[in-house]
Chains A and B, each alone.
Chain A
Amino acid sequence: MSFFSNFFSKRNTAPVAKDRLQILLAHERSSAQGNSDLLQKLQKEIMAVIQKHISIDQEKIHIKVDRGNDFSTLEIDIEVPQQDNIQS
C-alpha cells in the first residue's frame, strides 16, 4: 500500500516539518545563549522611554514577531491617545 500511496500523494509533509523545525530551533538555540527575555527587556525599555512623554494603555500595545528563514521582524504597535491627553 505504501508504494501506491506514496506514488499518488500530492505533497510529502516531512520536508515541511523539517523546515519548520529548523527555523524554530535556530531561534531557540540563539535565545538559549542568554537573551531569552530579550523581547520583554526591549518592550519594557521602549515603553519606559515612551511613557516619559505619553501615558499609554498596556492593552493598546500590540507586539508581533515574524520569524523567517533569513530575517525576523519585530513590530511594536502602540495606540497613542488623543493629542489633548499627551502630557508634555
Chain B
Amino acid sequence: MAKVIVVTSGKGGVGKTTSTAAIGAALAQTGNKVVVVDFDVGLRNLDLVMGAERRVVFDFVNVIQGEATLSQALIKDKRLENLYILAASQTRDKDALTKEGVEKVIEELREKFDWIICDSPAGIERGAKMAMHFADEAIIITNPEVSSVRDSDRIIGILDSTTAKSQRGEKMEKHLLITRYAANRAARGDMLNTDDILDILSIPLVGIIPESEDVLKASNLGAPITLSSPNSNAARAYSEAVKRLQGEKIEVTVPKDKKGFFDWLMGRSGS
C-alpha cells in the first residue's frame, strides 16, 4: 500500500531537501516505486538537488490548475528506473496549492507509487501545513542546535493537531532524523548529543546523519548522496534510516569521533 511521508522541520536549512532526495533515492534503490514531491511553492529546490532542473516543463501547480496532466509533470530520474520527481512551481501565488487540489494529486500518486515523499517548506505557514496534511507518517529533521530542536517541538505539536490524520482521531507516526551530527563536538560537550535531543523531543529516532562534506558535494553534482557516494558514512546512515522506515529493526549507532592520523600527529581535533 502506498505510503505518504512528509519530510519537515520548523527551521530552515537543516537538510530537508537533501534528506528527501537521499531517502527517495535509497527507497528506489531497494526496488520501490518512489516519487519525491516539492511543496515549496515559490522557492523550489528539490529539482536542483535531484539534478532534474533542466527537465522541468510542468510542475505541481500546473497539475492542480489543470494545465498539465500528472503524467506530463512527473519527471523520471535518469539514474533510477523507478524514481520520479514532481517539481514545485516558482509562482509567487502562495495560495496556488489548494487543499482539494493537493488531495486529488496525492490520491492519484497513491495509485501509481509505493512511496510518496513530500519535501515541506520550512516554517509553519500554509505550504508546510499543506505538505503534512495528507501524510501518513512524518520525518522530522533536526540539527543538534537549540533553535532547530525548539522549532521541531513546535512542528510535532502541529502534526498532532492539524493534519487529516489527527482530525480523524488517529495518531501520526513520527520519526526523528538528526542531520549534521559532528561526533567530535558532541564528545567535547559543545553540541547537543542524541540523548539530549531525544529527551527533549521524545519521538523515535530513525537515523543520525554525520556532518560530512560528501553531502555538499552531492548537491553540487545534483545527485542524491545515496547515489553519488553510496559508501560514504552519510549515505550509509541514510540507507539505514530507510531500512528502519521500512520496518526493519536495526539499532541506531551514534557516529563516533574518528580522528585522522594526521590530526592525531598534529595533536588537534578533526573538524
Q: Which residue of A36, A40, A62, A66 contacts B54 across the interface (Cβ within 8 Å)?
A: A66
Secondary structure of the B contact surface, majority rule: helix
Count of residues in B whose CB is under 8 Å from the partner chain = 25
Expressed in whole angstroms, the minimum distance between the Cβ of A74 and any Cβ of chain B is: 8
Given the known inter-chain contacts A1-B260, A36-B90, please indicate yes or no for A66 contacting B55, CB distance below 8 A. Answer: yes
B residues touching A (Cβ–Cβ < 8 Å)?
48, 53-58, 62, 67-69, 71-72, 90-91, 216-217, 219-222, 260, 262-263, 270
CB-based contact B55/A40 at 8 Å: no
Does the CB pair A13–B69 fall under 8 Å?
no
Question: What is the size category of the interface that chain A forms with chain B?
Answer: 20 to 34
Task: Kindly state the separation between the CA atoms of A77 and B42 in the bound complex, as whole angstroms.
Answer: 29
A7 at the interface (CB under 8 A from B): no
Beyond A20-B53, A39-B58, A40-B62, 12 additional pairs, beta carbon < 8 A: A1-B263, A1-B270, A17-B219, A20-B222, A36-B90, A36-B91, A40-B68, A44-B67, A58-B72, A61-B72, A63-B68, A63-B72
Chain B residues with CB under 8 A of A40: 58, 62, 67-68
Residues from chain B with a CB closer than 8 A to the CB of A14 are 220
Minimal Cβ-Cβ distance residue in A for B218: A13
Which residues of chain B are within 8 angstroms of A1 by Cβ–Cβ distance?
A: 260, 262-263, 270
Task: List A residues at the B interface (Cβ < 8 Å).
Answer: 1, 4, 13-14, 16-17, 20, 23-24, 28, 36, 39-40, 43-44, 58-59, 61-68
B221 adjacent to A13 (CB under 8 Å): yes
Chain B residue nearest in CB terms to A61: B72
Q: Which residue of A lies closest to B51 (CB)?
A: A20
Distance from B270 Cβ to chain A, minimum over Cβ atoms (Å): 7
Point out the residues of chain B lying under 8 angstroms from A68, CB to CB: 54
Q: Which listed residue (B48, B55, B68) contacts A64, Cβ 8 A?
A: B55
> For A16, A20, A64, A68, which residue has the most chain B Cβ atoms within 10 angstroms?
A20
